[in-house]
């Protein structure tokens, strides 16, 4: 199974767990103990599948290496770098938004940095996406 497919399956299982949680909660309000036991067993099976996918995905991310510029990173590190880049982008955007609101002159250097950060984030996201669709999970 491709890593992207495994991640999608894990998310589907997570949604199923949430749905079942809501259903069991409704049954507990009604006091239907017999049905609750049956659904608790089903919930436990879903948790086992979720855990299995989580471990497989984590191992694959740690063992998959991508190359960014001249640096090799495992996929887990690439995700962390991508998240920090996204945070940097949001900070720059926030500063620019405030500058526009106050009708002040915004620093051109900020626009340059914003574009560099946007390009860096897009580059790493492209490499991550490529790896997701080209790597098999263990």
Per-residue pLDDT at 103: 67
Looking at 64-105, list the stretches that DSSP marks H as alpha helix, in order from N- to C-terminal side. Answer: 75-101
Rounded average pLDDT over 71-80? 93
Entry pTM: 0.76
Structural domain containing residue 74: 65-138
Q: Are residues 70 and 121 in the same domain?
A: yes
- Segment holding 73, helix H or strand E: strand 71-74
Q: Are residues 4 and 21 in the same domain?
A: yes
Kindly tell me the burial class for residue 137, based on how many C-beta atoms sit within 10 Å of its own C-beta (0-12, 13-18, 19 or more): buried
Q: Please say which residue of 63, 89, 111 terminates a domain.
A: 63
Task: For 77-128, write each residue's pLDDT tens digit.
Answer: 999 999 999 999 999 888 888 777 776 666 777 788 889 989 999 999 999 9
Task: For 11-68, write each residue's pLDDT tens digit.
Answer: 999 999 999 999 998 888 887 777 888 899 999 999 999 999 999 999 999 999 998 8
Residue 138 reports pLDDT greater than 80: no
Task: Kindly state the tokens that stand for 49.
Answer: 């599948």
Q: Are residues 80 and 94 in the same domain?
A: yes
Q: CA-CA distance, 57 to 90, in Å (whole number)?
A: 28
Q: Are residues 38 and 77 in the same domain?
A: no
């Amino acid at each position: 199974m491709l890593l992207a497919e495994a991640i999608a399956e894990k998310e589907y299982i997570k949604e199923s767990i949430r749905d079942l949680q809501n259903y069991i909660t409704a049954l507990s309000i009604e006091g239907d103990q017999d049905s609750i036991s049956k659904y608790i067993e089903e919930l436990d099976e879903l948790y086992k599948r979720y855990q299995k996918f989580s471990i497989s995905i984590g191992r694959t991310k740690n063992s998959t290496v991508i190359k960014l510029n001249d640096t090799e990173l495992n996929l887990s590190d690439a995700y962390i770098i991508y998240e920090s880049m996204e945070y940097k982008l949001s900070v720059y955007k926030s500063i620019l938004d405030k500058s526009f609101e106050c009708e002040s002159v915004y620093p051109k250097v900020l626009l340059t940095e914003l574009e560099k950060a946007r390009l860096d984030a897009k580059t790493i996201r492209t490499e991550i996406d490529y790896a997701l669709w080209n790597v098999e999970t263990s």
